[in-house]
Amino acid sequence: MKALVTGCAGFIGSHLSESLIENDIEVIGIDCFTEYYDRKLKERNISSILSSKKFTFVEADIMDASLGQYLKDVKYIFHQAGQPGVRGSWGKEFDIYVKNNILVTQRILEIVKDFEIKKFIYASSSSVYGNIDELPVKESQLTKPFSPYGVTKLAAEQLCNLYFENHGIPTVALRYFTVYGPRQRPEMSMSKFIKDMISGNCITIYGDGKQIRDFTYIDDIVKANLLAMESPVEGEVFNVGSSRPIKLIEIIKILEKLVGKKANIEFMHKQDGDVRETYADINKIESLYGYKASIDIEKGLYNQLDYFKSTNENLKSH
């Protein structure tokens, strides 16, 4: 069995690739190491699987890679490549979001329509919803993105759906709610909180800290992808969250306990594009896939903190 994972060197793509290999699935991973964050971190993400006989790494930009040659015998495509982050998606940078989120997705779908695949799983985002009054949010909610990033993720999700409707590509879109855990991207809130806390720096919170996020542990995201792969359900979108929303300020309190230090917090103006609350209704994925969110936030944060400490030690000793 063979799968293609785009964005395989990223936070989510690397965990997913690892898990597929553990499940005895051959993985072709493609990544071009975009400049969004340090290439070294991405190289480290795939360092444990690079030597696996079941992993083939292709360093290429999806926009100009000859994808067809990698698709032979591929049954599953996990499209994780993308330009993440809400705050950076304004202004001039929007071009990069259009390219890496919309154009790239269209290009893959256009090529894939000539191949027989079993499932095309797209990494969508809770950002497609925008600010919602009625929470927890269901998949049937009208989508009204609140950031340029959200617009590009929604456009790509719609492309998946129209290639399903017109060409029968068996697509599924998983709307991830803020993902955390080991290897989380360095600009994401928990990564920054952990780094600042350990190094004794002031922690910056944009807004009053009372904004609510439905944090989803990386293992649950991987699990949702595997369930989507195995299930016959196609042409659908699913929320993937923990459905246990928590205030940002509570995250700091948990970290204070775990690190054994009081945090120094600086509150700054809320950033454009940041929504007030995210909170997933996960009934659909629970009932159609048998998904269950596993780890609680204390344990998940402990794992992320542990990973940060061990990799920082590694970096120091090199």
Ligand X SMILES: NC(=O)c1ccc[n+]([C@@H]2O[C@H](COP(=O)([O-])OP(=O)(O)OC[C@H]3O[C@@H](n4cnc5c(N)ncnc54)[C@H](O)[C@@H]3O)[C@@H](O)[C@H]2O)c1
* Candidate residues 100, 147, 161, 225; the one interacting with ligand X per rule CB under 6 A: 100
Per-residue binder mask for ligand X (CB under 6 A), 44-73, x = binder: -----------------xxx----------
* Candidate residues 31, 196, 220, 281; the one interacting with ligand X per rule CB under 6 A: 31
Q: Is residue 149 annotated as part of the catalytic site, yes or no?
A: yes
DSSP per residue, 230-296 = H----SEEEEE--S--EEHHHHHHHHHHHHTS---EEEEPPPTT--SB--B--HHHHHHH-----S-
Please name the amino acid found at residue 246: I
If phi > 0 it is left, if psi is from -120 to 50 it is alpha, else beta; for residue 260 that is left
User: What is the H or E stretch that residue 161 is in?
Assistant: helix 148-167
Smallest gap from Cβ 290 to ligand X, in A, equals: 22
User: Which is closer to ligand X, CB of 129 or CB of 289?
Assistant: 129
Instruction: For residue 137, state whether it binds ligand X (rule: CB under 6 A).
Output: no
Instruction: For residue 130, state whether it binds ligand X (rule: CB under 6 A).
Output: no
User: Alpha-carbon distance 175 to 189, whole Å?
Assistant: 19
Number of chain residues interacting with ligand X (CB under 6 A): 29
Smallest gap from Cβ 239 to ligand X, in A, equals: 11
Determine which one of 149, 163, 176, 279 is catalytic.
Answer: 149
User: Which is closer to ligand X, CB of 123 or CB of 248?
Assistant: 123
Smallest gap from Cβ 172 to ligand X, in A, equals: 14
Map residue 183 onto helix, strand or coil. coil
Smallest gap from Cβ 260 to ligand X, in A, equals: 27
**Helix-strand-coil split of the chain, %, nearest 5:** 40, 20, 40
User: Which is closer to ligand X, CB of 266 or CB of 293?
Assistant: 293
Per-residue binder mask for ligand X (CB under 6 A), 183-212, x = binder: --x---------------------------
Token pair in block for residue 216: 């989803």
* Candidate residues 4, 32, 137, 282; the one interacting with ligand X per rule CB under 6 A: 32
Single out the residue of 159, 153, 158 nearest to residue 113, CA to CA: 159
Residue pair 251/150 in contact (Cβ under 8 Å)? The answer is no
Map residue 225 onto helix, strand or coil. helix
Single out the residue of 94, 87, 85, 184 nearest to residue 125, CA to CA: 85
Instruction: Find the part of the chain contacting ligand X (CB under 6 A) among 9-17, 69-77, 196-204, 260-268.
Output: 9-17
* Candidate residues 28, 108, 121, 123; the one interacting with ligand X per rule CB under 6 A: 123
Map residue 140 onto helix, strand or coil. coil
Per-residue binder mask for ligand X (CB under 6 A), 70-89, x = binder: ----------xxx-x-----
CA-to-CA dists, residue 161 to 78, 154, 175, angstroms: 15, 11, 14
For the annotated catalytic residues, the residue numbers are 149
Which residues of the chain form contacts with ligand X (CB under 6 A)?
A: 7, 9-13, 30-34, 36, 42, 61-63, 80-82, 84, 100, 104, 123, 125, 153, 176, 178-179, 185
